[in-house]
Amino acid sequence: MRTSKSKIRFQKFNLATVILLFVLILAGGIVRSTGSGMGCPDWPKCFGMYVPPTNSAQLPKDYKQKYLAGNLAKNQHFAKTLDVFGYTDLAKRIREDKSILVPEEFNAAKTWTEYINRVIGEITGIFCLLTAIFAFSYRKENKLIPVLSILNLLLIGFQAWLGSIVVSTNLVPWVVTVHMLLAMAIVALAIITYHLARVHGRPKFTVNPITHIITLLTLLISILQIAFGSEVREKIDAVAGHLQGGYRDDWISGAGAIFERHRDVAILVLIANTVLYALIRRTFSRHSLQQQIMSFVFLMIMLQIVSGIILSYWSLPPAAQAIHLVLATLVFSGQFYLMLNLYRSVKGGIHT
């Protein structure tokens, strides 16, 4: 059956959105690891400009007081939201947080790092919007594709708001983890819609239930590993703040038991994926999509181990932090796409 131009257009934009999401996660990781979140204190402009300043002479008059008031108002609004959901003690701590009253000093490198992150985010948002519009070409064949595309668009908007909360307050330890897990959910939804469009009209096939179970368990372990990694990031941020950015060699030891759990689960991830790799190799032919996906996942795991070693023994270089984050997301995405292709494959699921 020939695919119409409108459906091909959706698939191309959907795939581009998935790729841009990975680029955005990388950019966000760089912003986080370099502490550039407040490089642009206002939105949508940066210091009131469409092109951010490169030196302090270009800054608006009284910019510290102006943007400090804006961040304070944002935190107060977030505190009201926490009150609604019953987190009154946490809301009180945010209202009484004195650290928000300390203005951020201008740093051109941090400003441009955050600005580039925003540009990538805006481009990604546009592609997600176009994907949602083009998804209606499938409204008769599979209503789930436009529904999930619209849902993803809404989640990206919520994620942008949550990202502003991440950088405006450090008093909510779970926000960073929720922010990361939500990013994974957005990627997963984009992968689902792309997969549904690609396999439309193709027959389903049967795979050993054990393979399904192992794939699901491996995916859950990877999600747990990423959640622990986000908690490690939160702990290290707290230690770095306490040490005022110095003594980087002591940051990991200051993270405590959560770093050890993160490392232990990493070993479990490697073991689970080794078992899954053996099952996929036994079930599918060498040229099947399933084997190709699993080979990609295993390569990402090896690279992630290398980046983890660099982080542990070279005092957490910012570039390695961002790369480690993206590799974790790629592992999760590959496993998720594999799980989808265990039911119905683009290439029909070639068995051995």
* Domain positions in the chain: 1-201, 207-352
What is the 3-class SS of 32-71, one letter each residue?
A: HHHCCCCCCCCCCCECCECCCCCCHHHCCCCHHHHHHHHH
Q: Report pLDDT digits (tens) over 3-49.
A: 688 899 999 999 999 999 999 999 998 988 888 887 888 877 888 88
pLDDT reported for residue 57: 86
Residues whose CB is less than 8 angstroms from the CB of residue 99 and which lie 6 or more positions away in sequence, other chains included = 170
DSSP 227-267: HHHHHHHHHHHHHHHHTTT--GGGHHHHHTHHHHHHHHHHH
C-alpha 49/C-alpha 111 separation (Å) is 12
pLDDT reported for residue 93: 76
pLDDT reported for residue 41: 81
The one-letter amino acid at 1 = M
DSSP 200: T
CA–CA distances in Å: residue 255 to residues 132, 163, 318, 350: 41, 23, 17, 46
pLDDT reported for residue 188: 97
pLDDT reported for residue 352: 44
Phi, psi of 77 (to 5 degrees): -65, -40
Average pLDDT per consecutive 10 residues, the chain (352 residues; last block may be shorter): 81 97 93 83 84 88 77 79 78 74 80 94 95 94 94 93 72 74 95 93 79 94 90 74 62 74 90 95 90 95 92 82 93 96 69 46
pLDDT reported for residue 244: 55
pLDDT reported for residue 68: 76
* The domain over range 207-352 is classified in CATH as 1.20.120: yes
Q: In the structure encoding, which two tokens stand for residue 177, read together?
A: 């983890």
Q: Per the confidence metrics, is the pTM higher than 0.85? A: yes
Q: In the structure encoding, which two tokens stand for residue 227, read together?
A: 């959640």
